[in-house]
A and B are shown apart, each in its own frame.
Chain A
Amino acid sequence: MFKMKMLVIAVCMLASISGNAQDRYFTKSGKILFESKAPLEDIEATNKTVTAVLDKKTGAFQFALSMKGFEFKKALMQEHFNENYVESDKFPRSEFKGSVVNNSEVNYSKPGSYPVIVKGKLTIHGVTRDVVANGLLKVTAEGVRAESTFNIQLSDYDIKIPAVVKDKISNTIKISVDAQLDPLKS
C-alpha cells in the first residue's frame, strides 16, 4: 500500500514538472542591444547570448545575460565599459525578473502580434530597480518572439561617468530586447 502511495506521488510530481515545462518558452540566443547617443560619441553594443524564459500560464518573464558578452566595435570602448563603467568582474551578470501584466490578453494558441506591458525588477551593476516597459509578443506556430525597447538611466544603477566626460556621454541608455522563444520540452 505504501509503495502504491509513493508511486502515485511520484507520478503526480512528474506530471507537475512536465506540465510546467510545457507551459514555458525559452531561448539561450536572445539579443540585447544598448545604444547611447551623445555629443562626444555614440555607443552601441550587442549581446547575442541572452537567456530568457516566458511562462505562458502565469506570464512570468525572466532574462539574464553576462555583461562581458557585450560586443563593441571599438576595443577601447569595450575595455572602458567592462572595467570602468559596469565593473564586469565585480558584477558579471544582469537580470530581469518580472511578468507580462496583461498576459490574459495574449492567446498563445493563435498566431498574431500582441502588445504587452512587462513589469518587474531589473538588476544591473548590483543595483535593482523597478522597470515597466511596453513590448510585443509575436505568436507563431514555432514559438513566441518577444520584443521590447525601453530606456534606463545609468545614474539609477550607480554607474558613474568620469567627470571629465560627464557632459559628453549620455546618462540615458536605450535597451532593445529581441528574443525568439521556443517551447520548452520536459
Chain B
Amino acid sequence: MKRIIIFIVLIVVVVASVVAYRMYSEETPDIVNREPDVVTDAKTLIADFEKDTAAAVAKYMDKVIRLSGRLKKIDTTGTLILGEEGNASEVVVGLDRRHMQDHAGLVVGSMVTVQGTCSGYTSGSADSGDMLASLGTTVELKSAGIH
C-alpha cells in the first residue's frame, strides 16, 4: 500500500512538473492566420479612434484585427505603416518575429491586408507643448504579419 501511495505521488509530481514546464516555456502564439476578432480597414479604425476613443478601446484593444489598407511605408527592420498620403493619421504595424520577412515583395502605395493584435494608440491634438501630438492619430498593431 505504501509503495502504491509513493508511486502515485511520484506520478503526480512528474505530471505537475511537465505541465508547469510546458506552461512556462510556451511561446507567444502566431496569430497571423488565426480567426480574427475584428475585420476592418485602416480608415475605419483610425476614424473610430478619432470619433470616440473610449468606445474604440473597448472594441479593438487586445483584439486580433484583420486590417486592409494602403501601404504607406516599409521599415525593413520590422514595421509597416498603413495610411493615406497627405494624412498624418496612420496605423503602425509591428511584425511578429516569425513574419519579419513579410514585407518582401510589397510595394508602397498598394493595398495590403495585415493581421495583428491592437496594442495601443496615440491621439493627435493641437497641443504645442507635445511634439508627438502633431503626428496625428496613430493606432498600433503588434505580433502582425501579412494575411
Interface residues of A (CB under 8 A from B): 21, 24, 26, 28-29, 31, 47-49, 51-53, 55, 60, 62-69, 71-76, 78, 92-93, 178, 180, 184
Indicate whether A48 sits within 8 Å of B120 (C-beta atoms), given known contacts A62-B132, A71-B94, A75-B28. Answer: no
Complex A-B: 30 CB contacts under 8 Å: A29-B73, A29-B75, A29-B78, A47-B142, A48-B78, A48-B95, A49-B79, A49-B120, A49-B141, A51-B122, A51-B135, A51-B138, A53-B132, A64-B122, A66-B119, A66-B140, A68-B62, A68-B142, A69-B94, A69-B119, A73-B27, A73-B97, A74-B25, A74-B26, A75-B26, A75-B27, A76-B26, A78-B28, A178-B77, A180-B77
What interface size band does chain B fall in? 35 or more
User: Chain B: residues with CB nearer than 8 A to chain A?
Assistant: 23-29, 61-62, 73, 75, 77-79, 81, 90, 92-97, 119-122, 130-132, 134-135, 138, 140-143
Q: Are A68 and B120 in contact (CB under 8 A)?
A: yes
Instruction: Please state if B29 and A68 are interface contacts (CB–CB under 8 Å).
Output: no
Give complex CA distance A76, B134 in Å.
36
Which chain B residues lie closer than 8 Å to A74 at the CB level? 24-28
